[in-house]
Amino acid sequence: MARNRLIADVDRRVLRTSIAAAALCLVTFLILRLLLLLLDGPSPFDIWLSDHIRQPHPSQGLKIVEHLAALPGSGKGAAALILGVAAWAWLRRSDVRPGALLIAAFVVTKASIEVLKMLLVHLMPIAPTGESEDRAFLSSHVAVAVATLAMLVVVIWLSGHRDVLPLAVAVAIVVVSAVALSVMATDMHYFVDVVSGAAVGGFWVAVFAPVGDLMWRRLPAPISPASSRELADQMYTR
């Protein structure tokens, strides 16, 4: 009975969109996994793209740029962003919901990637040498970046800040693209790994979006310190 009540409280449009997005991510992941098994390695497109992105002898400056570009997808980089958003929401409005959603998406995505990496490691050749080596099928950097930044976009949407939503979406796309290019340029992953990681991160964002909608609907909105002072002043003037 309580479960039916919770489902009824979720916005139907949010639920339908989340189910469609989760299904798309899951189908994408399965298709790429099947393609990898059928080809027994990277596709010709993966190899062609890697040859054009990777630098045989990158300079020290380029290595620094690549490292900085991948930072939002690292555990430390994503954790710093999440803690910053959580602290801002708490200090400004005593709101724990943004931090809770971001932490949940990050932790579940990270755990899923680690489990899948253990189960789906595949022998794939490295482009510079052509030797076979155990390659991780998934890019954890891209998965974490998608989970964190896409969940942040969802939080902005749920919070009602629709005016900054287009900018947030654009920034998320640019940052995720930079992370993807970085892990491919540093010989860590092929394009198939990047898209697969993005599918895993996107899947969990789609799962947690209705949860966030439910949190914003059922939990009372916190009162900001400024609003509290204004309310106190109004009571005092009366």
pLDDT per position as a tens digit, 117-168: 887 765 444 444 555 455 557 889 999 999 999 999 999 998 888 889 999 9
SS3 assignment, position 122: strand
pLDDT at 98 over 80: yes
Q: Outline where DSSP puts E strands in 69-160.
A: 122-125, 132-135
What percent of the chain stands above pLDDT 90?
42
CA–CA distance, 71 with 149 (Å, rounded to integer):
13
pTM of the model: 0.82
- The token pair at 54 is 């990777």
Contact 152, 168 (CB under 8 A): yes
SS3 assignment, position 60: helix
pLDDT at 14 over 90: no
Judge residue 170's burial from the number of C-beta atoms within 10 Å of its C-beta, 0-12 exposed, 13-18 middle, 19 or more buried. Answer: exposed
DSSP labels, 170-188? HHHHHHHHHHHHHHHHTTS
DSSP category for residue 164: G
pLDDT at 87 over 90: yes
SS3 assignment, position 11: coil
| Beta strands 132-135; 122-125: pairing state | antiparallel
Predicted confidence at residue 127, as pLDDT, reads: 45
**Residues pairing with 122 in the sheet:** 135
**Residues pairing with 135 in the sheet:** 122
CA–CA distance, 200 with 29 (Å, rounded to integer):
7
- The token pair at 219 is 């939990």
The backbone torsions φ and ψ at residue 96, rounded to the nearest 5 degrees and listed phi first, read: -95, -5
Q: How confident is the model at residue 184 (pLDDT cuts 50, 70, 90)?
A: confident
DSSP category for residue 127: T
Predicted confidence at residue 186, as pLDDT, reads: 78
pLDDT at 85 over 60: yes
Bigger pLDDT: 235 or 112? Answer: 112
pLDDT at 104 over 90: yes
Predicted confidence at residue 155, as pLDDT, reads: 94
- The token pair at 143 is 């998965």
Q: At what angle do helices 191-218 and 44-53 cross, to 10 degrees?
A: 90
Q: How confident is the model at residue 198 (pLDDT cuts 50, 70, 90)?
A: very high
Predicted confidence at residue 101, as pLDDT, reads: 94
pLDDT per position as a tens digit, 16-73: 999 999 999 999 999 988 888 788 777 888 888 888 888 777 777 777 777 788 888 8
pLDDT at 82 over 80: yes
pLDDT per position as a tens digit, 203-238: 999 999 999 988 887 765 555 544 444 444 444 454
Judge residue 232's burial from the number of C-beta atoms within 10 Å of its C-beta, 0-12 exposed, 13-18 middle, 19 or more buried. Answer: exposed
Predicted confidence at residue 219, as pLDDT, reads: 65
Alpha carbon separation from 124 to 54, 58, 135 (Å, rounded): 16, 23, 6
The backbone torsions φ and ψ at residue 190, rounded to the nearest 5 degrees and listed phi first, read: -95, 175
